[in-house]
Structure 1
Amino acid sequence: MNFQVPDPKRVRVLMNTDAKNEADDQYAIVHALLTPMFMNKGMIAAHFGTARTTESMEESYAEVKHVLSLMGDAGEVPVYKGAPQALQDEQTPVVSEGAEAIIREALLDDSHRLFVVFLGPLTDLASAYLMEPRIADRLTAVWIGGGPYPNGRSEFNLSNDIHAANVVMGSNIPLWQVPQNVYGMMRVSLAELEARVKPHGEIGKYLFDQLIQYNDDPAHGWPRGECWGLGDSPAVSLILDDLEYSDGFVTVPAPRITADMHYVHHQTERLIRVYRNVDVRFTLEDMYAKLELFAKKQAGK
C-alpha cells in the first residue's frame, strides 16, 4: 500500500481467536495483519468448547500459526496459547500465555490506544482481569458474541464461557459488543469469495479453499450451500471506523447473563457499547482491496 498512517493515529491490537472453530476467523486475522493503522501485538489462540474436540485451543493455535506462515513478513507477530477451557466460576482465572500477554500489553507505558478483540469466548479477558484488575481502564475490548438485545438468546461464542462474559460485564472494562443479529449481517456468497479472494496469492487461495472444505464436510449443516457469514470481520472494521456518527451503536447498562444466555437488566451504572449496525460494504471492500494489494506486492518481490 502506498500510504502510511500517521503514528498518533495508529492503535495497538491483540486478537483472540478460536480460529479452528469454523472458517471465518481466518479472514479477520488476515484483514488485521494487512491494516496499516494496526500495530499488531499478537494473536491469542482461544478454545471453542468441547462439543467437537477436547483440544480446541491447541487446534486454534495450530491454525493461527499456519495462517501466519502464509503471510510472509506480515505474519511475523507473536502467537500465544490462551485458556484450554472455560472458567469454572466467576472468581478463578485460567492462567495462560494469552491472559499474561493481555496484562503485559495493557500495563505498558504506551500512548497508542490498545484494543483487544475477541472472536470467540471471553475467557482470556476475564482471566486477565481477575489476575490483574488494573488492566480495566487501559484497554478497550471488542467482542463478537452474545444474543440480540434486549433479551438475548443462545449464541455460540457466549455459550463457550458464560462465566467469563459475566466477569467482563461486571467489570469496568470498556466493552464494544457486536451481538449475533449484527455480526449476522456480514453475508457473502461463495462466488463472491472465489472472485474477490481466491485469486490473490497463496493466502487468498487458502482462505477460499479452507472455507469450501468446511462447507463440503457433511458434519456441518452451516453454511447453506452457497453463502457464508464473515461475522468476525467487524472486529477489524469497527476499529477503523467505529460508526460514532452513523447511529451504529447504543450505550446500554451491562446485563447479567443467565445460564440459558438471556439478559437480565439489573443495574444502570455500568455501561457498555452495543452495536446495532455494521457497514458491510466498507468491511468487505477494505479487506478485498488490502488482500489484492498485498498479493501484488508479494508477486513483485
Structure 2
Amino acid sequence: MNFPYKVPESKQIRLIINTDAKNEADDQYAIAHALLTPRFNIAGIIAAHFGTRIDTSMEESFLEIKKVLQLMHMEDEVTVHEGAKAALPDEQTPVSSPGSELIVSEAMKEGELPLYVIFLGPLTDLASAYLQEPRIADRMTAVWIGGGPYPAGAREFNLENDIAAANVVFRSPIPLWQVPQNVYKMLRVSLAELAVRVRPHGEIGRYLFEQLVEFNLHPDHTPRWPKGEMWSLGDSPAVSLLIDDQEFDYDMVDAPHITSDMRYEEQKTDRKIRVYRSVDARFTLEDMYAKLELFHASSKNGG
C-alpha cells in the first residue's frame, strides 16, 4: 500500500483478528479496515465458529476470510488459521486449534511489538489459549465485540455462541476491552451511504457492498431484522479503538459472572475489565472509507 503517511514503529502493534466472518455481512468490513491500517502488523487471522451451522460454520468463516484476502491481493501476505469448530464443553476444558496455538505462540514471543487480539465473534479461541497457557494473560490485550448492555446483561449473539468461554476470559487476568451490544450498534449506516462510499472502490469495495445487499435480501430474515435499508457495522469498533482507544469513553468495571441466560452477576473479586459506553461512529466509518479509497487509488497506480 502506498499511503501518503507512515506510522512510526514505536506506535505500531501486532494484531491477530479472530472472526466469524461468514456469520452475516459486517465482519468483512472490519477485516478489510484492519488490513488497510498501517499501525497494524497483522500476525494472522483466525476463523471462528458461529454456532448456527455447528458442523461447518468455522470452515465457512475460513473460506470467507480467504476470499477477502484474495480480493485485496493479500493472500500471500497474511496467514489464515482454523479456530475451534464449536464452543467449549465447559469452563475447564480448552478446544485446541491452530488458532488458539497462534495466540499462544504470538503472546509468548519476546522483544516484539505489543500484541492485541480482536474478537468479532465468540471468545472460544482466547479461552482455549488461556487454558492451554495461562502465562499469555499479561502478554496481550483482547478486544471483544459482544455481550449485552450493562449492568444487567441480555441475550447477545456472540456471547450466546460460547458463554463458558466468556466466563473463562472474564475470570482471567487478561486485559479485556469489551464493546457490548448497545455500544456496537451505534455503528449505523444506510445502504445508500455504502453504495456511495464503499462500492466504487475496486474489487473489495464492490464485494463488501454486494455481499451485504445479498445478505439483506435473505428470505429467512424476520420482519424486525434486518430493517431493510440500514445496517450496523458492529464489528468495526474493534479496529478503530486500536487506532484511538477513546480514553474518556469507557468504565473499568468488576468483571461479572455470566449466567446461562446471559445475565451479569456481580462477583466479589479484584478483576476489572474495560467496558465502553460509546464509540465514535464518524471516526470509525470515515477512516474506513478513506482507507478503501486510498487503497483503490494506490492499486490503480501500481502501488
Point out where structure 1 has 5 or more consecutive residues left out of the alignment.
Answer: none
Deviates more, 1:110-119 or 1:131-140: 110-119
C-alpha deviation, 1:56, in angstroms: 0.2
Q: Spell out structure 1 runs of 4+ moving beyond 4 A.
A: none
Cα offsets for 1:159-197 (capped at 9, x unmatched): 000000000011000000000000010000000000000
Give the direction of change, closer, same or farther, for the CA distance of 1:52–1:83 in structure 2 (3 Å limit). closer
Counterpart AA for 1:123: T
Aligned pairs (5 A) from 1:7-156? 7-49=9-51, 51-52=52-53, 54-73=55-74, 76-156=77-157
Taking the aligned partners of 2:240 and 2:111, their CA distance within structure 1 comes to: 23
Equivalent residues of 1:256, 1:266 under 8 A apart: yes
Taking the aligned partners of 2:220 and 2:55, their CA distance within structure 1 comes to: 17
Counterpart AA for 1:233: S
Taking the aligned partners of 1:218 and 1:52, their CA distance within structure 2 comes to: 17
Aligned-residue sequence identity (percent) comes to 65
C-alpha deviation, 1:268, in angstroms: 3.8
Q: What is the TM-score with the length of structure 1 in the denominator?
A: 0.97
Equivalent residues of 1:254, 1:267 under 8 A apart: no
Taking the aligned partners of 1:288 and 1:151, their CA distance within structure 2 comes to: 35
Aligned pairs (5 A) from 1:1-301? 1-49=3-51, 51-52=52-53, 54-73=55-74, 76-221=77-222, 222-244=225-247, 247-301=248-302
Taking the aligned partners of 2:129 and 2:111, their CA distance within structure 1 comes to: 19
RMSD (Å), alpha carbons: 1.0
Equivalent residues of 1:34, 1:294 under 8 A apart: yes
SS in 1 for 2:59: helix
Cα offsets for 1:254-280 (capped at 9, x unmatched): 000000000001224000000010000
SS in 2 for 1:127: helix
Equivalent residues of 1:106, 1:135 under 8 A apart: yes
Taking the aligned partners of 1:40 and 1:11, their CA distance within structure 2 comes to: 9
Taking the aligned partners of 1:271 and 1:173, their CA distance within structure 2 comes to: 10
C-alpha deviation, 1:52, in angstroms: 3.9
Taking the aligned partners of 2:294 and 2:136, their CA distance within structure 1 comes to: 36
Cα offsets for 1:14-49 (capped at 9, x unmatched): 000000000000000000000000001110000001
C-alpha deviation, 1:74, in angstroms: 7.7
Equivalent residues of 1:33, 1:75 under 8 A apart: no
Taking the aligned partners of 2:188 and 2:20, their CA distance within structure 1 comes to: 20
Cα offsets for 1:94-131 (capped at 9, x unmatched): 01000000000000013411100000000000000000
Equivalent residues of 1:166, 1:256 under 8 A apart: yes
Point out where structure 2 has 5 or more consecutive residues left out of the alignment.
Answer: none
SS in 1 for 2:84: coil
The alignment of Structure 1 onto Structure 2 pairs a total of residues equal to 298
Taking the aligned partners of 1:119 and 1:289, their CA distance within structure 2 comes to: 22
